[in-house]
Amino acid sequence: MNRFLGFVKKEFLHIFRDYRTLFILFGIPAAQILIFGYAVSTDIKNAGVAFLDLSKDEVTRMLTNKITSSGFFRNNGNLLNYNEIDEVFKKGKTKAVIVFEENFGKNLGSEGKASLSIIADGSEPNTATLVVNYTMAIINDFNREYSGTPARGSIIIQPEVKMYFNPEMKSHFMFVPGVITLILILICALMTSVTITREKEFGTMEVLLVSPLRPIQIILGKVMPYFILSFINVLLILALSWFVFGLPVKGSMVLLLAECMLYILMSLTLGILISTVSKSMQQAIFISLIGLMLPTILLSGFIFPIENMPKIYDYVSMIMPPRYFILIIKNIMIKGTGLAYIWKETLILIVMTIVFVALSVRKFKIRLE
């Protein structure tokens, strides 16, 4: 029994000395519960809403204040005409536009009913549904409060709901761009993350080190074949999205393919960086899959809106490339926008690619340990 207890004690000591094992045992579960607890939320917080008030009376001001002071919505400004609705949606900060009909307050007072329109951004069906439901609940509550006095009697505000970009509320308008983003970064990073470590494990690293190639040439040489194959993969994914799911490309196909090429290059260089800092193929695969898959799904805006999360997660997601590519691909494919609306995200991906290449060259060891 003493021998057995001594053996168990030895195993405990081995575990406590191995920081990677302790991180897997305690760090990952703690990180997952914090991420899932705060990121996985179906609540609406500070969703951007704009108003097109064609009546500009006391009743519309009261209802506008009630909507924006609820804590669920943020006032993104007042529009002047219908032409500005398309512009404000393409900017991506506004989730819905509330349109009050002309003589809204007058109709409500004389006829006991008035109508308004709730136009939601249908490119994110789940968020659009939540925004509409929350707005309807606030309007119904306003109905009860406003008609609470006998002098006013029963009033009815009739909301009309419209979904912009996605009138039929097809769910693959949200999932297909997100899945494309997830697949590309996982496959590209995974493929290149094992390249340098494979050379080390198979004993062929010496051949590379004694060759006249410089580290930057070795890295680019590793990336180029995967870049071409991944681009073919993009063409296949886009073809399946079009023919199987009927997802259109409303914007420029040339711009979309150029952005995909940039994202592929960024993902491949990220994989190379992981490969240069990993000591084994197993470690590289673990970092690529576990370190990229969960944050991409939860913190990139793929499924759960980032604005609904605590501010700390907003800052964390800023260093994640999928956050920017999802915005790019949705704007081009679904909203039909051009480079003028996505230049910031494009510039961020370019900077990330340059940083990953520079770090990979810096971390690349020209001597075997």
State whether 68 and 33 are in the same domain: no
Q: What is the DSSP string of 124-137?
A: SHHHHHHHHHHHHH
Q: Which region among 164-168, 244-248, 324-328, 331-335 has the lowest average model confidence (pLDDT)?
A: 244-248
Q: Determine contact, residues 68/74, Cβ cutoff 8 Å.
A: yes
Question: Residue 223's pLDDT is what?
Answer: 78
Inside any domain, residue 68: yes
Question: Residue 366's pLDDT is what?
Answer: 46
Inside any domain, residue 369: no
Q: What percent of the chain has pLDDT over 70?
A: 82
Q: What is the DSSP letter of 122?
A: T
Question: Which of 164, 184, 213 is where one domain is finished?
Answer: 164
State whether 104 and 244 are in the same domain: no
16-72 confidence digits (pLDDT tens)? 776 666 666 666 666 666 666 665 666 777 888 999 998 888 888 999 999 988 888
Inside any domain, residue 26: yes
Question: Does pLDDT of 124 surpass 60?
Answer: yes
Question: Residue 36's pLDDT is what?
Answer: 61
Residue with the larger pLDDT of the pair 283 and 264: 264
- Residues of the domain holding 78: 47-164
State whether 191 and 301 are in the same domain: yes
Question: Residue 353's pLDDT is what?
Answer: 92
Question: Which residue, 235, 265, 259, 234, is CA-closest to 332?
Answer: 259
Using left for φ > 0, alpha for ψ between -120 and 50, and beta otherwise, residue 252 falls in beta
Residue 211's pLDDT band, with cuts at 50, 70 and 90, is: low
State whether 152 and 219 are in the same domain: no
Q: For residue 66, give the CATH number of its domain.
A: 3.40.1710.10
State whether 116 and 203 are in the same domain: no
State whether 147 and 178 are in the same domain: no
> Residue 78 pairs with which residues in a beta bridge?
51
Q: What percent of the chain has pLDDT over 90?
A: 18
State whether 109 and 184 are in the same domain: no
In terms of average pLDDT, the best of 117-131, 141-155, 214-228 is 117-131
Question: Does pLDDT of 262 surpass 90?
Answer: yes
Q: Which region among 216-220, 257-261, 342-346 has the lowest average model confidence (pLDDT)?
A: 216-220
Query: By three-state DSSP, how is residue 283 classified?
Result: helix
Q: Determine contact, residues 340/92, Cβ cutoff 8 Å.
A: no
> Residue 49 pairs with which residues in a beta bridge?
75, 96
State how far the Cα of 273 lies from the Cα of 193, in Å rounded to an integer.
Answer: 7
Inside any domain, residue 368: no
pTM recorded for the entire structure: 0.80
Q: Report residue 213 as tokens.
A: 């190639």
State whether 176 and 270 are in the same domain: yes
State how far the Cα of 297 lies from the Cα of 340, in Å rounded to an integer.
Answer: 27
State whether 113 and 55 are in the same domain: yes
Query: Tokens 């949200």 belong to which residue?
Result: 174
Mean pLDDT on 197-210: 63
State whether 308 and 204 are in the same domain: yes
Domain count, the chain: 3
Residue with the larger pLDDT of the pair 310 and 149: 310
Q: Report residue 328 as tokens.
A: 């790019």
- Residue 202 identity (one-letter amino acid): F
Q: Report residue 82 as tokens.
A: 């219908």
State whether 158 and 307 are in the same domain: no
Question: Residue 225's pLDDT is what?
Answer: 83
Q: Which region among 34-43, 69-78, 87-96 has the lowest average model confidence (pLDDT)?
A: 34-43
Residue 125's pLDDT band, with cuts at 50, 70 and 90, is: confident
The CB-side HSE value for 136 (13 A sphere, CA atoms) comes to: 13
Torsions phi, psi for 170 (to 5 deg): -75, 130
State whether 292 and 323 are in the same domain: yes
Side by side, the strands of the sheet bearing 113-121 are 73-78, 47-53, 96-100, 113-121, 156-164
Question: Which of 118, 135, 164 is where one domain is finished?
Answer: 164
Residue 159's pLDDT band, with cuts at 50, 70 and 90, is: confident
Start-end of H helices in the chain: 2-17, 19-22, 28-39, 58-68, 83-90, 104-110, 125-146, 172-193, 195-202, 205-210, 215-243, 253-277, 281-299, 311-317, 321-330, 339-363
Question: Residue 367's pLDDT is what?
Answer: 44
Question: Residue 350's pLDDT is what?
Answer: 95
Question: How does the average pLDDT of the chain come out, rounded?
Answer: 81
User: Which contacts of 151-158 are long-range, i.e. CB under 8 A and separated by 24 or more positions?
Assistant: 152/109, 153/112, 154/112, 155/108, 155/112, 155/113, 155/114, 156/112, 156/113, 156/114, 157/63, 157/108, 157/113, 157/114, 157/115, 157/116, 158/113, 158/114, 158/115, 158/116
Inside any domain, residue 185: yes
Q: Determine contact, residues 247/176, Cβ cutoff 8 Å.
A: yes
